[in-house]
Amino acid sequence: MVKLDIISDPVCPWCYIGKAYLDKAIGERPRHPFEIEWHPYQLNPDMPREGMDRRAYLEAKFGGKEGAVQAYMPVVQQAEAAGLAIDFEGIKRTPNTLDAHRLIHWAGIEDRQMVVAMSLFRAYFEEGRDIGSHEVLADIADSAGMDAAVVLKLLGSDADTQGIRDKDAGFRKMGITGVPCFIVAGKHAVPGCQLPETWIKVIDEINAKLDQDGEV
């Protein structure tokens, strides 16, 4: 297997779209070599811990309502192309994602990282849930087979908070300025939201090299 590190933020629409495109490629190439691990990157590290009104956030970021609409037009188009049912109107708050990243980290320890990461995307983009809420995060954990009571207790503490911040800072020092970013075999970076055709080519090249040399 080949390690595929996915650096993302669960409130990043391009991360959700990029993973959907990767999944389409994997569907076409079931003999894919990837072993996936998720890593933290906060798009809004200075976001208040309680989050903020999404409309206010977008209008401040993009210079008003019209700017926000223009900025999200390609996102809407690509989401539709990826087959995702994103409900942007249903999203009322932009959360601080530090706690969501802590949950993804704990899910990794229990080998439930993929289901939790994808549940966070769906909860935020399709169900309009506040994934900064400890109750919402505990419910997602419970649905993934984790102990919700333990997760709530951990969320109420500072457990792994600094570790998440340090990982995020480390990726920024590596030169990563946006997500998603995919790192293949610990050395080949594939930045941005790539179409399925690109991933199919990557998978085919890796498989050919593995068949020939036994390594990437």
Q: What is the pLDDT of residues 60-115, one digit of tens each?
A: 989 998 988 898 899 999 999 999 999 999 999 999 999 999 999 999 999 999 99
Sheet of 181-184, strand order: 34-40, 2-8, 181-184, 188-191
Mean per-residue pLDDT, 44-58: 95
9 neighbors 43 (Cβ within 8 angstroms): yes
- 2-213 CATH, one of 3.30.930.10, 3.40.30.10, 3.40.1080.10, 1.10.357.10: 3.40.30.10
Q: 109 - beta bridge partners?
A: none
* Amino acid identity for residue 159 in this structure: A
Residue-range domain boundaries for the chain: 2-213
Q: 19, 128, 23, 17: which is closest to 78 by C-alpha?
A: 17
pTM: 0.96
Quote the CA–CA distance of 180 and 155 in Å, as a whole number.
25
